[in-house]
Amino acid sequence: MKDKEEMHAYSRAIETIESARHITVTGHLNPDADALGTALGLWWILKDLGKRVDVLFVTRPLPQALSFLPGYGKIKHALHPKSDLLVSVDCGSFDRLGIERPEGMMLINIDHHQSNTRYGDIDLVEPHFASASETAFKLVAAAGWDVPKNGAVNFYAALVSDTGFFGYEGVGPRVFDFAKTLLSLGADAEWTARMLRENQPLSKLRLLPMALETLTLHLGGRVAGLEVTERMLKKSGATVNETDDMVNYARSLATVEVGFLTREEPDGGIKVSLRSKSVVDVAKIAASFGGGGHIRAAGFTVYGMERDVLVDRLLNMIKKELQQ
């Protein structure tokens, strides 16, 4: 029954897309490579169907390190008034899109986060998939739509980034089969790796040592925390997008099971990124603060709470998870 319901959702999504006149593809605030790559990959595919398609991300500026993605320069920051279908990718809840939904507009929700709130009229959510691009490609394959080279390039960058270059939990034969398919469609493994690893802005490298100076160990070395303040961002010239993977430095320490990074937000909030290795379900912890994500990678934002208080609460929750 579940398989039939799932395939019915994909069939409905295909029918809805093929009957739409003006489609807008969007993703979460402060987008990463999975959000941008999946959205731009769909843009190329849907354009080839003869559709009027926009890619929308309200965040300004977008990550300059991802400007190599084909179609990056065509991204818009406002919803076109004639758009009649919204397709969201890699976003667990509607509020993370940062837009208002026009009355009567259909919404297709394409994602792979287990914490997804199923906010779409049609929800295509595959929590066991390694990347939102996998879910999008499942839709494309089911529809029989052609995938141009630029679509494959974007999907491959999304996949490589969200799997940590195929090093994260959940990577297996299915993921490598998907990667092989994308390479056969024109994606370039060496070029993509070089662009993702060696295309960083100087401001990010200036910010990194400032963040590493704040590194603090907790709970007998099993937890490590980092901090990024607004002062650091201003001094380095970095944007918030350039902090996304810095939490991995905390997790990378030999004794550490959970790494976290706190970042001061311009609106007074504190953004927390969580990463774990093999024991702690950080999505569960993030959910308790109103956030979400994956078992090994999650995040949330809090308001009206001092960082010290937040860290104490966070450490207490992590400690309970470590003791189980």
**202-323 has the same fold as 2-197:** no
What tokens appear for 257 in the block?
């099971």
Looking at the DSSP bridge assignments, the partners of residue 301 are 271
Most distant pair of Cα atoms in the chain: their distance: 59
| Residue 323: predicted pLDDT | 87
- pLDDT value for 5: 74
CB-CB contact of 43 with 57 (8 Å)? no
Q: How far apart are CA 73 and CA 35, in angstroms?
A: 15
**CB burial string 256-279: b at 16+ within 10 A, e below:** bbbbbbbbbeeeeebbbbbbbeee
Mark the ranges of the chain whose per-residue pLDDT is less than 70: 1-3
Residue 109 CB burial class (10 angstroms; 0-12, 13-18, ≥19):
buried
Extract long-range pairs of 77-82: CB within 8 Å, 24+ residues apart: 79/24, 79/54, 80/22, 80/24, 80/54, 82/21, 82/22, 82/52
Amino acid in position 61:
P
**How far is 170 from 173, CA to CA, in rounded Å?**
10
Type of residue at 178? F
Can you give the pLDDT at residue 114? 87
CATH code linked to domain 202-323: 3.10.310.30
Select the CATH number that applies to the domain covering 2-197 from these four: 3.90.1150.10, 3.90.1640.10, 1.10.1040.10, 3.10.129.10: 3.90.1640.10
Q: Where are the domains of the chain?
A: 2-197, 202-323
Strand order from edge to edge, sheet including 52-56: 52-56, 22-27, 85-89, 106-111, 122-125
User: Which residues, 6+ apart, have CB-to-CB distance to 139 below 8 Å?
Assistant: 10, 13, 14, 110, 124
Q: What is residue 266's predicted lDDT score, i.e. its pLDDT? A: 87
